[in-house]
Chains A and B, each alone.
Chain A
Amino acid sequence: MASTVLCSIVSAEEEIFSGQVEMVVATGTIGELGILPGHTPLLTGVRPGPVRLILEGGHEETFYASGGYLEVQPTSITILADTALRAEDLDEAAAIEAQKKAEQDLADQNSDIDFARIAADLNEQAAILRTIRRTNVGKKLSKERSNDL
Chain B
Amino acid sequence: MASAKELRKQIGSIKNTQKITSAMEMVAASKMRKAQERMARGRPYSDYIRSVIGHVANASPEYRHSFMMERDVKRVGYIVVTTDKGLCGGLNVNLLKAVVADLKKLSEQEIEYELCLIGNKGAQFFRSYGGTVTAASSHLSEEPKISDLIGSIKVMLDAFESGGIDKIFLANNVFVNTMTQSPTIRQLVPLDPSKEEGIDGHRWDYIYEPDARQLIEGLVTRFLEAQVYQAVVENVACEQAAKMIAMKSATDNAGDLIDELELVMNNARQAAITQELSEIVSGAAAV
Query: Hey, which bits of chain A sit against chain B, CB under 8 A?
Result: 8, 10-15, 28-30, 33, 40-45, 69, 71, 73-74, 78, 80
B207 / chain A contacts, CB cutoff of 8 Å = 40-43
Q: Is the CB of A12 within 8 A of B42?
A: yes
Chain A CB within 8 A of B93 CB: no
Q: Is the CB of B206 within 8 A of A41?
A: yes
From the candidates A30, A41, A71, A80, name the one contacting B45 in the complex (CB within 8 A).
A80
5 A-B pairs with CB atoms under 8 Å apart are A15-B44, A15-B45, A41-B59, A45-B210, A71-B55
Q: How far apart are A20's CB and chain B's nearest CB, in angstroms?
A: 17
B41 / chain A contacts, CB cutoff of 8 Å = 13-14
Interface SS, B side: helix
In the bound complex, what is the Cα–Cα distance between A11 and B44 (angstroms)? Answer: 8
A15 / chain B contacts, CB cutoff of 8 Å = 44-45, 48
In the bound complex, what is the Cα–Cα distance between A14 and B39 (angstroms)? Answer: 10
A33 / chain B contacts, CB cutoff of 8 Å = 209
Chain A CB within 8 A of B273 CB: no
Q: Is the CB of B206 within 8 A of A43?
A: yes
- Name which of B218-226, B264-272, B278-286 contacts chain A: B218-226
Q: Is the CB of B45 within 8 A of A12?
A: yes
Q: Is the CB of A13 within 8 A of B52?
A: no
Query: Hey, which bits of chain B sit against chain A, CB under 8 A?
Result: 41-42, 44-45, 48-49, 51-52, 55-56, 59, 146, 199, 204-210, 215, 218-219, 222, 226, 229
B52 / chain A contacts, CB cutoff of 8 Å = 69, 71, 78, 80
From the candidates A13, A43, A44, A78, name the one contacting B48 in the complex (CB within 8 A).
A78
| A-B complex: 9 closest residue pairs judged by Cβ atoms | A15-B44, A44-B209, A43-B206, A41-B206, A42-B207, A71-B52, A10-B44, A10-B45, A10-B48
In the bound complex, what is the Cα–Cα distance between A91 and B222 (angstroms)? Answer: 28
In the bound complex, what is the Cα–Cα distance between A92 and B206 (angstroms)? Answer: 37
B48 / chain A contacts, CB cutoff of 8 Å = 8, 10, 15, 78, 80
A11 / chain B contacts, CB cutoff of 8 Å = 45
Which partner residue on chain A sits nearest B55 by CB separation? A73
Query: Which of A8, A42, A80 has most chain B Cβ within 10 Å?
Result: A80
